[in-house]
A and B are shown apart, each in its own frame.
Chain A
Amino acid sequence: MATSSKMLYMDPTPKKREDFEDILDERRHSSDLRYAMRCYTPVVYRGLTTCIPSALKSAVLKSEHVQYVIHKLSKETGESSEIIQEEAAEILDEMGHNLHMSVIRFFVFTLSKIFKKLFSKVCVNEEGIQRLHQAVQDYPVVLLPSHRSYIDFLMLSYILYAYDLPLPVIAAGMDFMGMKMVGEMLRMSGAFFIRRTFGGNKLYWAVFSEYVKTVLRNGYAPLEFFVEGTRSRTCKSLTPKLGLLNIVIEPFLKGEVFDVFLVPISISYERILEESLYAHELLGVPKPKESTSGLLKARMILSEHYGSIHVFFGQPISLRTLAAGRVNRIHYNLVPRHIPQKSGDDVHHFVNEVAYKVLLFQLENMVFSPWTLIATVLLQSLPSIELPVLTEKVLWLKRLVQSFGGFVDWPDNCPADKVIASSLAIHHTTAKTCNGYVTLPVQHKDYGINEEYIFRYAVHVLMCASYRNHLLNLFVRPALVLFAMESTKSHKKEEIYNYFVFLRDLFSDEFIFPAGTAIKDFEEGCFLLGKCEAVEMLQQDIFFTDNGSSITLFLTAMFQPFLEGYLTYCNYLTLEASEPFTEKQFITGVRQFTFQLLLTGYLKFYEVLSSDMQKNAMAALVRQGSLHKLKMSNGITYQVDREAVSRTADMLGSKVPVRKHFVPRL
């Protein structure tokens, strides 16, 4: 089995890492103003039909698709089609971008100033840029960056300008519109705004989807959006939102374009601007509304230093290649293409698959800073760790990450303690060094053990956790295999696999697992464990090895908070929840419950307070049938199936065996 799994799972390490170039370097040596005013002549799509933003809008409005929907709505509602047409025009005005070169130049100038102040380096993989250069000319391109910060799309446009690539049209959330001037500025730099929810509004959907498709079909500009839909507050990838992707693949499926390139882009921050904001949000301090004054306040905080950024432009993925043999395009032959059509199951599955593929490519090309390693070690060593021990463990982890195929941005020719010291300096608000010990900057002697202390401590734990989360995707498969081995107390591969599948399903909102790849994930996990000699693989059995205990301990400790969290929520549901409840009520209730457990010391994982984990657990329990979703007039409420919940809890606590899965030839 060891050999067979080796054959099935390709070893990721031999892959050559691409070189990065720091684009700020040149900015530090020449005039920003001249740079902003320089001649900018981007390469363009060879099939481009040039048009100005207003022409784009009128093309959308006049399109057969939008006109069809307008007339249909007019017939259904009795409203005159002129009025609906007017409405559509308003939607377009609210939505449409209005790219202005002068604004771009203004942004280039100011961002040059700001970025130089905030960041030490902005590193871009040149090969990726060259690939993009070619791709942009060949077919319509969709840029799909990871989303960890507001900076993402500013940064991306900034980079594209630097390399004479066309500036993208960016799908942005409506919330930015609230920021007076800034909203308009963003619009003029190529953003178009979409409402976060428009369920059921057919006119909005028609106008919006036609807008996106027109951009694509004409090769007007690269389209950019975030597959995750919103910024991830935890630095884990969010499960993909499929709406925009569905729209994007339609022109290809209907033959209106020959191909579309999807370009996954991984943006890795050494320190995220919103780190503390996110931690507060996760603990239930409401998200401040985007406002210009808020941004200015943020500007004050910007006197801080945020280290380096790595932007990796991935291999452009040909949608045509992905779809070959997966989707039958003949489906679209019998209805005029402008008439909206429900897509078949094959299309649904395909879009889902594409979305997960993009996310996994993003994750694969993330760059890990030394701090992600430090934060990971620190979290496992709380309340404090001696600096030399930390250094030793970080170096150990670095080797492990590298052997698992991860890319660590570790400076060459620099002693380890220096690297760690400078990393700690950048993150001085998250952790501090005190008498040779590294610890969180919140001491219970300052507060006593009370709710405020718990809250403040949790903020810092969540900040650390968000950096540790960078590493989760790299380790989650082997870790779940280890949990399965421990929980089943078995060495039979089949039993271990069964439990693995149970965990994988349960945590499929927490981590990125594409549908239908359970066996592949299991084999990958086993392979990596075998490779680092944490386990020994036989034909039908897996055994722990004697000298693999450090890895086993490390990996289980890394994922322990998630298991404990889900167990805690199950307990809350069986013991305390009063039904029916809304999501909000659940979150408040379970937070209170968790606070108590933390206060009394029954629970030591502060991450369990994270609303993200709570929401994910809810979704998982709904999927498992332990929670029932009820659509009421006043929104969605939930009802608990206590028996099912405690069954899940028992399985998670390995008190009862999990349901058997059919295992085809492991």
Chain B
Amino acid sequence: FILAQHGSMASRSLVQDHAQRRLQVISGHLQKVGVSDQHVLSVNQCRGEPAFPDDNRTDTVPKHRQEVLKWNGWGYNDSKFMFNKKGQAEFTGKRYRLSGMVLPALREWMEKTFGASLDHKSVSRPSLNTSDIPPPVLNEGFLQSIKATDIPFSHDAEDRLFRAHGHCLHEIFTLREGRFDRIPDLVVWPHCHDDVVKIVELACKHDTCLIPFGGGTSVSNALECPADETRTIVSLDTSQMNRILWIDEKNLTAHVEAGINGQNLEKQLAESGYCTGHEPDSMEFSTLGGWVATRASGMKKNVYGNIEDLVVHMRVVTPRGVVEKSCQGPRMSTGPDIHHFIMGSEGTLGVVTEVTVKIRPVPEYQKYGSVVFPSFEQGVACLREVARQRCAPASIRLMDNEQFQFGHALKPQVASIFTSFLDGLKKFYITKFKGFDPNRLCVATLLFEGDREKVLHHEKQVYDIASKFGGLAAGEDNGQRGYMLTFVIAYLRDLGLDYYVIGESFETSVPWDRVLDLCRNVKERLVRECKERGVQFPPLSTCRVTQTYDSGACVYFYFAFNYRGIGDPILVCHQIEAAAREEILAIGGSLSHHHGVGKLRKRWLRECISDTGIGMLKSVKEYVDPNNIFGNRNLL
């Protein structure tokens, strides 16, 4: 019956062929995912027919996430940047392409860019001190009722702490050397939709606060527990609701539990020859439900669309009851789309439990590429033209010069003299022969997907446009490295933290005509704010254009600085980020393209969506959740 869903055996092997490629795609960035995930799900009591038998799965996230993931930093325990005995930077572990490699240029880059020094370390506390954890406030009624169900729960300090934060700088900083005022009192792991319904009912009955938790990759302060919340805070961890319930090949949809994370979703779909194509930078950890709740965007949205384009149907458990549509029509005119009340609601209305998403056959062929432009201005002009002609590849990103140089700092030790010779030749050709200024040039990375012929044709079309803007093709390697960096760059912050360097990233979307002005002004503002706040060394202030749309683009900023000599670095960093956000808004950028509002950007929401807009959101909240059970206080 399962096979019937997948068609004949013959076509299955073809499908598996694609699947194989698809897996390569992912392991392109993520090697050997799930190897260490030994934790197998306990017996599942929930009904519902999963597409794959449980016992085949080795790729669930364990309930005790800290067994696999860092408790005080980004990503897997086994993967991190460090300086080896020779003082050279190295990336540990085996998961990523960069794993086990020496990065000879990174140290000098850190010293030059931040004035950081290996002699000045700022180390994290080595392990969690449970006495620093506020004791749980437990609602006996709720606890007894949960015990009466078979839903797993925990009030272990480590489990609670892990769900008290996302990955904003101040949250990681607090883990390393501070303490949280308020953390969840109880963690529950529902296994299915019905479990969630039970939990929400109990929460309403016993008046506890529920905070849904997916992958924990929030960078908007969305997971922070309100310090003045006196009720029991229950963290509802969706990670065990991670099955693909069915795949519908006729309509190309899959019905999936919302707790599944990106890499497992793609991996499991790939086994059937499909993918969603939704690849946010956090896809190793972030979950389907989290994407819906924040209005996520994926790197390859040009082919597959953003989350709002991918969702066909969703089930959401709210204090008022379950909300869902009665059919799966591809588009409806049935009043304001109720999905849009949920998408971007950031856990304030309920829990997304199941989602029907669009799927596509895994692409036959995939090719990376890169283009060097003499200046950022020309690069942006090229991206604009590509968008105008609506011929954007699956992904097209433009890094500015600082990021280009940073990319070089992450070049692994060259394997052979020949490669380095070739590199030298390329550099010579671009800077000397073509006259590009190494301090001005910038690079676009490209990813094409589709059938081979189309990809090659598409590639030519894009390179032709690029050449009109002075762009020179710079090879597949550069492109691939660019995308690989996306996944490891988050690890780099932890290294910075070890050496008095802190930083943050933030994003926006902006009409095309303002892209350049926004990039320049925000970067400049970051530099000026750092200076005015006593930062001794000029900060790293860099941006890239990561998405193109018909009428504008998404811009992503990184900034980081050496905080030695500053009394309250986190406060300073906050103030600088806030100033940069003011700058973005002043020039016509949005409050957020895909990170969401959370609590970090709440204060600007009113001016961004008008008083009436706030009122509309409030009235929905009032109806759906009058007792503020979903009390994370995001957005409003």
Q: Which residues of A contact B513 (CB under 8 A)?
A: 336-337
The prevalent SS among residues of B at the interface is helix
- A-B contacts, 27 listed (Cβ < 8 Å): A47-B520, A254-B517, A254-B587, A255-B514, A255-B517, A255-B518, A255-B521, A255-B586, A255-B587, A255-B588, A256-B517, A258-B520, A258-B521, A258-B524, A258-B525, A259-B524, A329-B586, A329-B587, A330-B585, A330-B586, A330-B607, A332-B588, A333-B587, A333-B588, A336-B513, A337-B513, A337-B514
A259 to B525 alpha-carbon distance, docked (Å): 10
Shortest distance from the beta carbon of B442 to any chain A beta carbon, whole Å = 16
Q: Which residues of B contact A337 (CB under 8 A)?
A: 513-514
Q: Which residues of B contact A (CB under 8 A)?
A: 513-514, 517-518, 520-521, 524-525, 585-588, 607
Shortest distance from the beta carbon of A428 to any chain B beta carbon, whole Å = 54
Q: Which residues of B contact A47 (CB under 8 A)?
A: 520
Sample of 6 further A-B pairs with CB below 8 A, known A254-B517, A255-B586, A255-B587: A255-B518, A256-B517, A258-B524, A330-B585, A330-B607, A333-B587
Mark contacts of A239-272 with chain B using CB atoms, 8 A cut-off: 1 yes-contact digit, 0 otherwise. 0000000000000001110110000000000000
Closest to B589 in A: A333
A329 to B587 alpha-carbon distance, docked (Å): 7
A337 to B511 alpha-carbon distance, docked (Å): 11
Mark contacts of A36-77 with chain B using CB atoms, 8 A cut-off: 1 yes-contact digit, 0 otherwise. 000000000001000000000000000000000000000000
Closest to B524 in A: A258
Q: Which residues of B contact A255 (CB under 8 A)?
A: 514, 517-518, 521, 586-588
Report, as a range, how many residues of chain A touch the other chain. Answer: 10 to 19
Interface centre among A255, A259, A333, A336 (most CB of B within 10 A): A255
Shortest distance from the beta carbon of B527 to any chain A beta carbon, whole Å = 10
Shortest distance from the beta carbon of B51 to any chain A beta carbon, whole Å = 47
A412 to B219 alpha-carbon distance, docked (Å): 66
Mark contacts of A631-649 with chain B using CB atoms, 8 A cut-off: 1 yes-contact digit, 0 otherwise. 0000000000000000000
A336 to B512 alpha-carbon distance, docked (Å): 11
Query: A-B pairs with the 3 shortest C-beta distances?
Result: A255-B587, A329-B586, A333-B588
Interface centre among B513, B518, B588 (most CB of A within 10 A): B588
Q: Which residues of A contact B607 (CB under 8 A)?
A: 330
Q: Which residues of A contact B524 (CB under 8 A)?
A: 258-259
Mark contacts of A438-473 with chain B using CB atoms, 8 A cut-off: 1 yes-contact digit, 0 otherwise. 000000000000000000000000000000000000
A259 to B585 alpha-carbon distance, docked (Å): 16
Closest to B583 in A: A255
Mark contacts of A317-340 with chain B using CB atoms, 8 A cut-off: 1 yes-contact digit, 0 otherwise. 000000000000110110011000
A330 to B585 alpha-carbon distance, docked (Å): 7
Shortest distance from the beta carbon of B513 to any chain A beta carbon, whole Å = 7
A330 to B518 alpha-carbon distance, docked (Å): 13
Closest to A328 in B: B586
Q: Which residues of A contact B520 (CB under 8 A)?
A: 47, 258
A332 to B517 alpha-carbon distance, docked (Å): 14
A337 to B512 alpha-carbon distance, docked (Å): 12
A254 to B511 alpha-carbon distance, docked (Å): 13
Interface centre among B513, B517, B518 (most CB of A within 10 A): B517
Closest to B587 in A: A255
A259 to B531 alpha-carbon distance, docked (Å): 16
Shortest distance from the beta carbon of A64 to any chain B beta carbon, whole Å = 9
Q: Which residues of A contact B514 (CB under 8 A)?
A: 255, 337
Closest to A139 in B: B524
Q: Which residues of B contact A333 (CB under 8 A)?
A: 587-588
Closest to A333 in B: B588
Shortest distance from the beta carbon of A67 to any chain B beta carbon, whole Å = 14
Closest to B516 in A: A256
Shortest distance from the beta carbon of B343 to any chain A beta carbon, whole Å = 24
Which residues in window 317-368 of A have CB below 8 A to B?
329-330, 332-333, 336-337
Interface centre among B514, B585, B586, B588 (most CB of A within 10 A): B586
Closest to B584 in A: A255
A336 to B513 alpha-carbon distance, docked (Å): 8
Q: Which residues of A contact B525 (CB under 8 A)?
A: 258
A423 to B521 alpha-carbon distance, docked (Å): 52
Shortest distance from the beta carbon of B601 to any chain A beta carbon, whole Å = 15
Shortest distance from the beta carbon of B603 to any chain A beta carbon, whole Å = 14
Mark contacts of A381-410 with chain B using CB atoms, 8 A cut-off: 1 yes-contact digit, 0 otherwise. 000000000000000000000000000000
Q: Which residues of B contact A332 (CB under 8 A)?
A: 588
Closest to A337 in B: B513
A337 to B520 alpha-carbon distance, docked (Å): 17
Q: Which residues of A contact B518 (CB under 8 A)?
A: 255
Shortest distance from the beta carbon of A383 to any chain B beta carbon, whole Å = 59
Q: Which residues of A contact B588 (CB under 8 A)?
A: 255, 332-333
A389 to B525 alpha-carbon distance, docked (Å): 60
Interface centre among A254, A258, A336 (most CB of B within 10 A): A258
Closest to A318 in B: B528
Q: Which residues of B contact A256 (CB under 8 A)?
A: 517
Shortest distance from the beta carbon of B245 to any chain A beta carbon, whole Å = 44
A259 to B513 alpha-carbon distance, docked (Å): 19
A337 to B607 alpha-carbon distance, docked (Å): 20
A332 to B588 alpha-carbon distance, docked (Å): 8
A256 to B518 alpha-carbon distance, docked (Å): 9
Shortest distance from the beta carbon of B555 to any chain A beta carbon, whole Å = 13
A258 to B520 alpha-carbon distance, docked (Å): 8
Which residues in window 113-136 of A have CB below 8 A to B?
none
Shortest distance from the beta carbon of B489 to any chain A beta carbon, whole Å = 27
A255 to B607 alpha-carbon distance, docked (Å): 19
Closest to B586 in A: A329
Shortest distance from the beta carbon of A414 to any chain B beta carbon, whole Å = 46
A13 to B607 alpha-carbon distance, docked (Å): 45
